[in-house]
Amino acid sequence: MTTVRDVTYDLLRARGLTTIFGNPGSNELPFLSGLPTDFRYILGLHEGAVLSMADGYSLVTGDTTLINLHAASGSGNAMGALTNSVYSHSPLVVTAGQQVRSTIGQEVMLSNVDAGSLMKPLVKWSSEPTCAEDVPRTMSQAITMAALPAKGPVYVSIPYDDWAADAPTETARLLERDVHSAAALSGEQISSLVGLLESAANPVLVLGPAVDADHANDDAVRLAEKLRVPVWIAPSPCRCPFPTRHPSFRGVLPAGVRDLSSALSGHDLILVVGAPVFRYHQHLPGRYLPEGARLIQVTDDPGEAARAPIGEAFVAPIGNTLAVLASIVEPSDRLPLPQLADFKEPESAGPGLDPEHLFALVRAAAPDDAIYVNESTSTADAFWSQMALAHQGSYYFPASGGLGFGLPAAVGAQLGCPQRQVIGLIGDGSANYGITALWTAARYRIPVVIIILKNGTYGALRGFSKILNTGDTPGLDVPGIDFVNIAQGYGVRGTAVASAADFVTAFKSALAAEVPTLIEVHTHFEKP
């Protein structure tokens, strides 16, 4: 007789989920025992790093990705990292082992009490099957829910004695299923949008991460060029939806109400595509929009449309909508936008490197199609001022701002996209949240390059202490950490540098090494 475990592996195989990221406990062993040879298991040493590695893998591949955690404790360890996956719309199927069914109510050791509620309200859907026979169907539902618009993580808790149960014959039909999503704007809605864009005196495009996620960057460029309009990236971006050296590019919008409205001043039509309206951060109250401006949002997330405080919204696929708009809209007779000025070539004064100087050196030596995973949160302005991002899927950042994403996500991204070099730009404060991912990089020989920007402080918090006028605040410094020794202890080659020449030598060596490498760079603190 076919078991629930057999059918579940057949289902995972049919849906392409043959890479499993995990950190196992006793409840998970019956599922993992005798792992089929066409599956691979990527072990992480902490569940937060496991989830972020899987997130990075899913982001670069676009694939729904399977995660296996240990009961409530392992799930809890991963929840901080899960917040980033929610806001990046990463299609993750997070599973956790549960105690045997007959003992759950007793709350014996390693029970996941009220398991279906544990991950709420973070995930799209959460469940514990009501019986062993329903496990394959529940897993099918989870995989489907994760991939349907708007994509996002789901959670399933599975009692470990369920795996050995006999599977009903009819569960084989799950392997034949497929669910298609085909919503699109109507012809009338497209005509309305085109009319607004063509009649506006001074329109502007604001693009968000869903543009990059839907492989629509080229269509965004076509639309911007036909309209001859400036393009901003929506605030706090977790992806890059537009080439940063295109004449239309204006930068990243500030994350405060007052400053954002000021940046868009003078525009009568603001078309926001693939982003919330807006993900503010700093509390700088003011008018949501400049005087005389009308805002139109196109999003594939009904939640984003519903919670926006301003504007009109269309819920529709991002890629299809941009492609249709770019094809139909008439070319504008506005003057072409001038080419951007050449990069400012910064220098560093004194010991260590200025972040802007470091990023200029990275840009000069890195491959043109490099993928950057950035979690140096206090140096965002310096990064955007120096990087030339031209390719789809070139930039990732923690979507909810939760630290611990960057280093593991870089490892997962390199595993998922071996044909492109992944470079992690990680602050010394945030690096410690996901440092165990170095062991995974070494264990599986994942040739990611990790650059640690070491300034001995939580730079973003120091910036906020000035914004919030909190004065002297404890717990903002992290001195005395030797990342080279830590890396070497995990089996990763590492080196420390404090000058431009030494960094270039170390970086070029890392790019050629084809093994994971960490470079600790002494940097000056720069106010965010």
Positions annotated as catalytic residues are: 25-26, 28, 47, 70, 281, 401
Tokens found for residue 411: 């490892």
Instruction: Kindly give the pairing relationship between strand 269-273 and strand 294-299.
Output: parallel
Strand ranges in 17-124 using DSSP code E only, listed in sequence order: 19-22, 40-43, 65-69, 92-98
347, exposed or middle or buried, with CB in 10 Å at 0-12, 13-18, 19+? exposed
Distance between CA atoms of residues 507 and 502, nearest Å: 9
Torsion on CA atoms 439, 444, 449, 451, rounded to nearest 10: -10
The answer to whether the bond into 121 is cis (omega within 30° of 0) is yes
The answer to whether 484 and 490 have CB atoms below 8 angstroms apart is no
Give the SS3 label for residue 164.
Answer: helix
Tokens found for residue 423: 């470079």
Q: At what angle do helices 187-199 and 318-328 cross, to 10 degrees?
A: 60
DSSP label at 471?
A: -
**CA angle, corner 22, sides to 153 and 152, nearest 5?**
5
Strand (E) or helix (H) holding 206: strand 203-207
- Sequence-separated (6 or more) residues with CB below 8 Å from residue 336: 228, 247
Type of residue numbered 194: V
Q: In the block, which residue shows the tokens 């990236």?
A: 233
Distance between CA atoms of residues 436 and 510, nearest Å: 20
